[in-house]
């Protein structure tokens, strides 16, 4: 699987505590989760000269192919946020840095060898170009989005939906993208354009529309969530890994829920980076 998106420097903190610098970005969370499940993963991303070497080591420790990562002059993508004690985000700031300047040559080479392509948070025009380069019919094409992108670029994202096989988004994003005020109506509408749509719902699990059949997959309760950053991307990574193995969307959603649950119990990507396949499997089997 190829994951194209951002690798970021995340500075995260519970309110009134010191900020902790951790590996972040949509590509990082997705790739770490997929690799944890056992999927062969390659990342296509652009990092700056300030990107910590220990973050590269964390990706390499999961046996992730880093040949598509290019270091460029300039700052890396950066995200800073603080959270209330229940894990809710209080405030955030971000910059894209060099993150939108990925290598199309590296992407094209890796895609030719892959069964799936997943696009993280990237500009709509770049997402479209990447989807077009994976239009041979051999790869499963999936994408995620984010609320602040939809607020500005919804009309540019909508035409890309028919190019997708799988779409991941949360309830707010599903309603924004579809224009429907209700999640059930939203997933029905989006399902007319994308064969497999997954709407994550936090600790309630997720709602899945698989070629017109809609079903709920219950979530995995977390007693004390710490930070929700990247939970949806971790969900997507685990989902895709299992879906590629089995073709079973319901089972894949269970693993996605497990990855999301592990993600929210630690700062940033540290939980999913430290997890094993057995950790996720144990959550799946116990719920």
CA-wise closest residue to 257 among 213, 180, 214, 203: 203
Name the pairing type of β-strands 166-170 and 206-210: unpaired
Token pair 């997933």 is at which residue?
187
Q: Which residues lie below 8 Å from residue 260, measured CB to CB, with a gap of 6+?
A: 200, 219, 220, 231, 232, 234, 235
The pLDDT score that the predictor gives to residue 194 is 98
The strand order across the sheet containing 65-72 reads 65-72, 42-48, 2-4, 116-119, 140-144, 166-170, 196-200, 206-210, 213-217
- For residue 156, give its domain range: 2-286
Question: Whole-angstrom Cα distance, residue 238 to residue 253?
Answer: 8
Tens digits of residue pLDDT in 223-240 = 888 888 999 999 999 999
The pLDDT score that the predictor gives to residue 227 is 86
Distance of CA 102 to the CA centre of its chain: 17
Question: Whole-angstrom Cα distance, residue 46 to residue 5?
Answer: 8
Here the CATH number for the domain that contains residue 88 is: 3.40.1190.20
The pLDDT score that the predictor gives to residue 179 is 96
The pLDDT score that the predictor gives to residue 134 is 85
Q: List per-block mean pLDDT (blocks of 10 residues) for the chain, which spans 287 residues.
A: 96 81 96 98 98 97 97 96 78 91 93 93 93 82 92 94 97 96 96 98 95 96 88 97 97 98 93 97 94
Count of domains in the chain? Answer: 1
Q: Check residue 279 and give left, alpha or beta (phi > 0: left; psi -120 to 50: alpha).
A: alpha
Q: Evaluate whether 163 touches 133 at the Cβ level (below 8 Å).
A: no
- Written as six digits, the tokens of 198 are 């997954």
Question: pTM score, two decimals?
Answer: 0.95
Across 248-279, b (16+ Cβ under 10 Å) vs e yields: ebebbbbbbbbbbbbbbbbbbbbbbbebeeeb
The pLDDT score that the predictor gives to residue 137 is 65
């Amino acid at each position: 699987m190829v994951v194209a998106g951002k690798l970021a420097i995340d500075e995260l903190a519970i309110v009134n505590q010191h900020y902790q610098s951790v590996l972040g970005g949509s590509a990082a969370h997705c790739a770490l989760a997929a690799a944890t499940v056992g999927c062969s993963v390659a990342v296509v991303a652009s990092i700056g000269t300030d990107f910590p070497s220990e973050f590269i080591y964390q990706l390499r420790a999961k046996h992730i192919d880093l040949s598509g990562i290019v270091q460029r002059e300039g700052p890396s993508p950066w995200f800073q946020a603080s959270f209330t004690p229940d894990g809710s985000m209080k405030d955030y700031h971000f910059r894209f840095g060099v993150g939108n300047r990925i290598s199309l040559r590296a992407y094209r080479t890796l895609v030719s060898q892959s069964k799936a392509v997943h696009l993280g948070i990237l500009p709509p025009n770049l997402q479209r170009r990447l989807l077009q380069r994976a239009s041979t019919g051999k790869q499963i094409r999936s994408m995620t989005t984010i609320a602040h992108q939809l607020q500005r670029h919804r009309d540019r994202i909508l035409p890309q939906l028919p190019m997708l096989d799988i779409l991941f988004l949360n309830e707010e994003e599903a309603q924004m993208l579809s224009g429907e005020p209700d999640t059930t109506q939203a997933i029905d509408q989006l399902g007319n354009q994308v064969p497999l749509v997954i709407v994550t719902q936090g600790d309630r699990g997720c709602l899945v529309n698989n070629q017109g059949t809609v079903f709920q997959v219950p979530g995995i309760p977390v007693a004390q969530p710490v930070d929700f950053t990247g939970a949806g991307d971790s969900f997507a990574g685990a989902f895709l890994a299992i879906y590629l193995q089995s073709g079973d969307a319901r089972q894949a959603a269970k693993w996605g829920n497990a990855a999301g649950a592990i993600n929210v119990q630690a700062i940033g990507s540290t939980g999913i980076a430290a997890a094993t396949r057995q950790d996720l499997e144990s959550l799946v089997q116990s719920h």
